[in-house]
Amino acid sequence: MSQALKPAAGRGPASFASLMPDAGKIHRLSALLTLLLLIVGFALASQSFFSVNNGLTILLQTSVIGLLGIGMTMVIITGGIDLSVGSVLALAGVGTAMAVKAGVPVGLAMGLGVVIGAACGAVNGLVVTKAKIPPFVATLGMMLMARGLALQLTGAAPISQLGEAFGRLGNGALFRVVELQPNGFPKVIFPGIPYPAILLLVVAAGAAYMLHRRQIGRHIYATGSNEEAARLSGVRVDRTKLYAYVMSGALAGLAGNVLMSRLVTAQPSEGVMYELDAIAAAVIGGASLSGGVGTVSGTMIGAFIIGILRNGLNMAGVSAFIQQIVIGAVVIGAVWIDQMRNRR
């Protein structure tokens, strides 16, 4: 065969396939398109959707879902699941509030809340890796224990009167401009960037860097993709899983600080069903429940889809019960899409 009739190098089917975007990118693009459609739809339905106050509300609501979702993504990539994050959020928030009541400075008390969350995550990780109990069962047990402990410590009553400093993280903002009017009342000129949104951005950037640029991140993906192959390659699989669960618990503790600070009250009943929002954010953003797949950027898109969906339904006057039905349908749909993607 002459050279003219030979296929050019790199022009075969394999080369063509390499030019096609991978399934993960397609999933994230579809999620981003869904997010844009939701924004346009709710904006057309309500003129106040694009108001500054509503935008700040969405940022505050999404910050908690986003923090939980980032930790959940790490666990899901390893092939696990963490059903305890909502209860750990409540327990960590209660622990922070009790420390503040005992006279501990707010900053140290919030650090204690993160440590409480990390400790719960460590217990989850040890039960999964050492006792070989399935993650679903292990974290379900932690969900019940953490919630029960939070209710027991507080007598099922909220902890209030925590002081102005306690509410600064959840209600403060960077670059806020306030002008004092002649009547003595303050007027907000520029609301600023909420601290929870800044915190979410910093955590998301750090988590993305860790997953894609650090060795532990590569180990997390390897563990979820093929645990046995990862072990034979020298990856310390149990330690990697433990790290993922500790990070999930620590971020749940951080989310608890943000939420309780925003309320300026520690509610032991807060965080119920938040684990489903976190799972939905991760899966909508492209994380696979089979493990080995997931990104922080995708989870952020998923978190904003959940946050905007709840906000838009609230503005439309949809009852909380109907919202649960809608969110449940979204979770089922996201998992179904994930299953269809894995069957290809």
Lowest mean pLDDT among 163-177, 200-214, 263-277, 328-342: 328-342
Which residue type sits at 73?
Answer: T
> Residue 31 — very low, low, confident or very high, per pLDDT cuts 50/70/90?
confident
pLDDT digits (tens, 9 = 90+) for 165-203: 999 999 989 888 887 777 777 777 778 899 999 999 999
Residue 1: the pLDDT is 43
Structure-token pair, residue 274: 């938040």
Q: How far apart are alpha carbons 171 and 164 in whole angstroms?
A: 10
Using one digit for the tens of pLDDT, what is the confidence trace for 2-26?
Answer: 444 444 444 444 443 344 455 667 7
pLDDT for residue 4: 42
Lowest pLDDT segment from 108-122, 153-167, 170-184, 290-304: 170-184
**Does residue 266 sit in helix, strand or coil?**
strand
**pLDDT band at residue 316 using 50, 70 and 90 as cut-offs:** confident
Reported for 334-343, long-range contacts at CB under 8 A and 24+ positions apart, including other chains, are 334/280, 334/283, 334/284, 334/302, 335/283, 335/289, 337/27, 338/283, 338/287, 338/288, 338/289, 338/290, 341/23, 341/27, 341/288, 342/288, 342/290
Q: At what angle do helices 274-284 and 85-101 cross, to 10 degrees?
A: 130
How would you class 101 by CB atoms within 10 Å of its CB: exposed for 0-12, middle for 13-18, buried for 19 or more? middle
> Of the candidates 328, 340, 317, which has an alpha carbon nearest to the alpha carbon of residue 277?
328
| DSSP state letter for 235 | -
Model pLDDT, residue 15? 40
Query: On the CB side of 36, how many CA atoms lie within 13 Å of its CA?
Result: 6
Mean pLDDT of 288-317: 91
Q: pLDDT: is 187 or 304 the higher one?
A: 304
pLDDT score for 110: 96
Helix 85-101 vs helix 52-77: angle between axes, to the nearest 10 degrees? 120
Q: Apex CA 177: angle with CA 202 and CA 66, to 5°? A: 25
Q: Which two tokens stand for residue 104?
A: 């501990």
Q: What is the chain's Cα-based Rg?
A: 22
List Cβ neighbours of 260 (8 Å cut-off, separation of 6 or more).
Answer: 93, 94, 96, 97, 166, 170, 266, 267, 270
Tell me what percent of the residues of the chain surpass a pLDDT of 90: 62
| Secondary structure (3-state) at 186 | strand
The yes-or-no verdict on residue 67 having pLDDT over 90 is: yes
Residues in the chain: 344
Mean pLDDT of 255-279: 93
Q: What is the dihedral of CA 113, 116, 121, 125, to 10 degrees?
A: 160
3-class DSSP assignment, residue 167:
helix
Between these two residues, 40 and 5, which has the higher pLDDT value?
40
Which amino acid appears at position 180 of this protein?
A: L
> What local confidence, expressed as pLDDT, does residue 10 receive?
42
CA distance 226 to 243: 17
Q: Quickly state the pLDDT bin for 338 (edges 50, 70, 90).
A: confident
Domains observed in the chain = 52-339 (1.10.3470)
Within the chain, where are the H helices? 13-19, 23-45, 52-77, 85-101, 106-129, 135-154, 168-171, 195-213, 215-225, 227-232, 237-263, 274-284, 296-315, 320-343
> Does the pLDDT of residue 297 top 90, yes or no?
yes
The answer to which of 18-22, 209-213, 224-228, 247-251 has the lowest mean pLDDT is 18-22
Give the pLDDT mean for 146-158. 95
Residue 6 is predicted with a pLDDT of 42
Are 80 and 249 contacting, i.e. CB atoms less than 8 angstroms apart? no
Rounded to 10 degrees, the C-alpha dihedral 251/255/258/260 comes to -130
φ, ψ at 190 (rounded to 5°)? -135, 120
pLDDT at res. 7:
40
